[in-house]
């Protein structure tokens, strides 16, 4: 059952209403896409804060008035502008990162390259996008097309 503005995780309690609403929308969509709650919640909160920081006053006002916390069947991503972009596996100071092309930050960091590749494959399978695997030096090692 999706979270609502009246029934949400305790970690959403301290968020202002519009950020909470956006985080709930993102988290609900992530859960629908197969993410575990303990991973979806912090990612959703972070993305909601980032969204508000970059949104215009009109966008915030419109979402506050008309946005829904329930995932829509037609929307295929919590960040639709990144939905069609490949997942990149890149070297990271803490291991290997999975980062959506054109995203500012990695969505996840894994200890090993293989763990990152496996997770990138899961994400890309849900989105129907490619996985671009990089070497330590940043050059492209392989591109896995969607199946």
At residue 55, the pLDDT reads 82
At residue 78, the pLDDT reads 47
Structural domain harbouring 90: 84-144
At residue 70, the pLDDT reads 63
At residue 1, the pLDDT reads 59
Any domain includes 78:
no
The answer to whether residues 89 and 122 belong to one domain is: yes
Any domain includes 1:
no
The answer to whether residues 88 and 57 belong to one domain is: no
Among residues 24, 39, 66, the one where a domain terminates is 66
Q: How many domains does the chain have?
A: 2
At residue 77, the pLDDT reads 44
The answer to whether residues 62 and 33 belong to one domain is: yes
- Give the whole-angstrom CA distance, residue 43 versus residue 56: 21
For the chain, report the end-to-end CA distance as a whole number of angstroms: 30
**pTM for the complete prediction?**
0.49
- Give the whole-angstrom CA distance, residue 146 versus residue 34: 18
The answer to whether residues 18 and 50 belong to one domain is: yes
Which neighbouring-strand residues pair with 80? none
CB atoms within 10 A of CB 126: 14
At residue 73, the pLDDT reads 45
**pLDDT tens, per residue, the chain with 147 residues:** 588 888 888 999 999 999 999 999 888 888 877 788 888 899 999 999 988 888 888 888 888 887 767 654 443 444 454 556 789 999 999 999 998 887 778 888 999 999 999 999 988 887 788 899 999 999 999 999 876
Any domain includes 48:
yes
Cα separation values, 125 from 70, 77, 95, 132, 144, Å = 23, 13, 23, 13, 11
Reduced to 3 states, what is the DSSP secondary structure of residue 131?
strand
């Amino acid at each position: 059952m999706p979270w609502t503005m009246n029934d949400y995780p305790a970690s959403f309690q301290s968020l202002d209403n519009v950020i909470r609403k956006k985080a709930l929308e993102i988290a609900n969509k992530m859960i629908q896409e197969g993410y575990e709650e303990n991973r979806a919640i912090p990612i959703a909160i972070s993305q909601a804060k980032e969204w508000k920081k970059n949104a215009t006053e009109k966008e915030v006002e419109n979402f506050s008035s008309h946005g829904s916390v329930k995932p829509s069947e037609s929307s295929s991503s919590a960040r639709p502008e990144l939905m069609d972009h490949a997942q990149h596996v890149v070297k990271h100071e803490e291991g290997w990162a999975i980062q959506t092309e054109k995203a500012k930050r990695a969505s996840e960091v894994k200890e090993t390259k293989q763990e990152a590749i496996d997770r990138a494959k899961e994400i890309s399978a849900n989105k129907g996008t490619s996985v671009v695997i990089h070497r330590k030096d940043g050059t492209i090692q392989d591109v896995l097309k969607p199946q």
